[in-house]
Chain A
Amino acid sequence: MFEDFQFFVEVLISGLLTGILYSLVAIGFVLIYKASNVFNFAQGAMVLFAATTLVGISGFGLNIWFSALLTIPVMALLAYLVEILILRRMVNSTPISMFMATIGLSFVLLGLTQLIWGSGVHLLEFGLPSGQFIVGDVFINQFDLSVAAICAILVAGLVIFFQHTKVGLSLRAVAEDHQAAVSVGVSLSKVWVIVWFIAGIVCLVTGMVWGAKLGVQPALNLIALKALPVIVLGGLTSIPGAIVGGLIIGASEKLFEVFLGSAFGGATESWVPYVVAILFLLVKPSGLFGSTQIGRI
C-alpha cells in the first residue's frame, strides 16, 4: 500500500514537471493574446524557428549559451517584421482574419526554418543534468527539475518586467483596454513589437528545453497543440492560469496513462488533455483564471 502511494507521488511529480513544459508554450500564447488580441497559431512554428536558429548558430562552432544570446536579436527582428508586415496592416481586421494571418505566418516560419537550416533532427545539448535523485523514497528526474527551475526564473523575470517597469505597465494597460491605452499616448506598434519579442524569448526558452528533451526537429511545431488544452483550462488571458493549467494537464495525463491507460489501450496522453479541456469548458468556459467581465455602469 505504501509503495503504491510512493509510486503515485513519483508519477504525479513527473507529470507536474512535464506540465511545466506545457505551461511554457501556453505562456507564449497568453502574452500575445493579451496584448494584441491575436490567437497566435504560429506559436509552435516560432518555437521551432527559435530552437533551430539556436542549433544552426551553434553549428558554426559557438558555445551553446553564446548561440542562445545571438538568437535573441533574431527573435527581435522577427517581432519587428511581424509588426510591420502583419499587425500594422491588419489593425482594423476581425479576430478571425488575424488568426488566419498567423496560420500564414506559421507556414512561412516553418518553410523558412527548413529552407535555412534543413529539416533534419538536431541534438541540442546544453548541459542540463540527466540523472535521477532521490527525496525520501521518491525518484525525481533531474532534467525535469532543472526545466522547472528555468521556467521559474523565466516567470519571475516576466513578473518583474510587467509589474515593475514603465514599459511593462504600458503593456498591462494595453492588455486591459487597447483603445484607452492609445487614447493616452501608448503606441500600439511599439507595444506589439515588445510583446512579440518577449513571446519570442519565451519561445526560445521553450525550444531549448523541449529541444533538449526531444531533439530539435520539425515535429517541435506540434507541441503548440499541447498548449491548447492548457489555455482552455487556465484561461487565455492569465499567466498564472497558464502555469496552473499546464500543471493540471501534465499531472492528469500522466496519472491517467499510468493507472488507467491500459484499460484504454495505452497512449492516452495524446487525447486525455483534450477530454479534460472539454469537460472543463462545460463547467467554466472562461477557464480557471480567465477574465470574466464585471460591468459597472
Chain B
Amino acid sequence: MQSGLPENMLSLTNVSAVYMGSILALRNVSLSVPRGSMIALLGPNGSGKTTTLKTISNLLSLDRGRVTKGSIVYEGKPIHGASPAQLVQNGIVQVLEGRRCFLGLTVDENLAVAANNTRNTDHRIVSGAEEIYAFFPSLARQRRKKVEMLSGGEQQMVAIGRALLAQPKLLLLDEPSMGLAPKLVSQIFETIRNLNRTLGLTILVAEQNASVALKHSDYGYILNNGSVTGGGEVAELLESEEVKYSYLGQPPDKAQRQGNDLSATNWMT
C-alpha cells in the first residue's frame, strides 16, 4: 500500500462475482478503503459499481448473485458469507441506487425502521431521528408526510438519514446523484463530505458523475467491464487523460497522453 494511508477499514482482494451462477459481473476487483476516508468508485453504466457495493454489503445475495473468489476483509476480519442483516449490525450500511425509500411510509416511519432494527451500541454515530432532522431541516417540516410525496432530493435525504440511523462505520452510497438537478447533486455531495468529516464516517460512493464525485473525495477507483482499470488520489485522477476524456468530457490531449496515462500512475501497486 502507498505510504501515508491510514489503516484500511475495508479491503477487497481479487474479488469475482457472478449473477445467477454464470453471468460474470466482477473480475478480480481489488480495492481498499482507508478508515475515515471518502472513496469514489467511478465507471460507466454496467461497469460493476453497484455489484461491487452489493458484494461488500452482501445484498448481492438478494439479487441471485454470489462471490466466486477473492476475499473481503472488513475491520481485519473476512466477511464473506455473512448475512446482509448481520453486516448492517457490524456497521456496513448501503444506500441503494435510486434511493429506495419506503414510499408508502412517512418520513418518521422510514427513519424508525432503521433505528428500531439497529442493535449495536458500541459505535453510535447519531443519537436519533432528531439529529437527522437537524441535518436535513426540510425533512423535519414533512416528517408526517408519506415519502412518495417528497421530491427526489428529499427522498435522497431520507435514504441517507435512514442509513445513518443504522449506525454505520462504513457507508456505501450508490449513485446519490441519480435523477437530481445539478445544484442538488453538489448539495448532496457536500452533505456527504460533511458527514465524512464531522462524524468521521468512512464512505465509499459509486457515482457516474465523476467531476462532482472526485471534487468531494480523497481517492478514486475506476471500474470498466467489472474490473478495476485505474485508481489514484483525486488530484492525480483529475489530471489523468483517461478520466478527463472518458468522464469529464474534455478532449484528449495527445501530447500529454503518453506521459500521464492512468495505468502508469496506478497507485495500488
Contact = CB atoms under 8 A, between A and B. Distances in A.
B160 to A, nearest CB: 11
Interface in B115-166: 116-119, 148, 152, 155, 162-163, 165-166
A185 B117 contact: yes
A294 B100 contact: no
Contacts of A185: 85, 88-89, 93, 114, 117-119, 166
Interface residues on B, range: 35 or more
Contacts of B11: none
Nearest to B102: A176
B179 interface: yes
A177 interface: yes
Nearest to A187: B85
A153 interface: no
A183 B118 contact: no
B126 to A, nearest CB: 13
* Chain A contact surface mostly: helix
Contacts of B103: 176, 294
B43 interface: no
A186 interface: yes
Given A170-B116, A296-B148, A182 B85 contact: yes
Nearest to A178: B62
B163 A184 contact: yes
Interface stretch (B1-9, B105-113, B247-255): B105-113
B84 interface: yes
Interface residues on A, range: 20 to 34
Which of A92, A166, A182, A188 has most chain B Cβ within 10 Å? A182
A126 B97 CA distance: 53
A181 B100 CA distance: 9
B101 interface: yes
Interface string A269-297: 00000000000000000000000001011
Which of B63, B83, B116, B152 has most chain A Cβ within 10 Å? B116
Nearest to B148: A294
A169 interface: yes
B148 A169 contact: no
Nearest to A179: B62
A173 interface: yes
A179 B166 CA distance: 15
Nearest to A165: B116
A183 B117 contact: no
A160 interface: no
A176 B104 contact: yes
Contacts of A186: 85, 113, 117
B257 to A, nearest CB: 37
B28 interface: no
Contact of B100 (A166, A169, A179, A297): A179
B57 interface: yes
Given A91-B62, A173-B105, A178-B62, A183 B57 contact: yes
B196 interface: no
B59 interface: yes
B94 A183 contact: yes
B113 A173 contact: yes
Contact of B64 (A92, A177, A294): A92
B96 interface: yes
A172 interface: yes
A184 B162 contact: yes
Given A93-B64, A170-B116, 20 more contacts: A166-B116, A170-B117, A178-B62, A179-B62, A179-B63, A182-B59, A182-B85, A183-B88, A183-B94, A183-B95, A183-B100, A184-B163, A185-B85, A185-B118, A186-B85, A186-B117, A187-B83, A187-B117, A294-B148, A296-B155
13 contacts: A169-B109, A169-B116, A172-B105, A176-B105, A179-B62, A180-B102, A183-B93, A184-B113, A185-B85, A185-B88, A185-B117, A185-B118, A296-B152
Instruction: List the 8 shortest-distance A-B pairs measured between CB atoms, nearest first.
Output: A185-B88, A184-B114, A176-B102, A180-B100, A185-B117, A187-B85, A297-B179, A173-B113
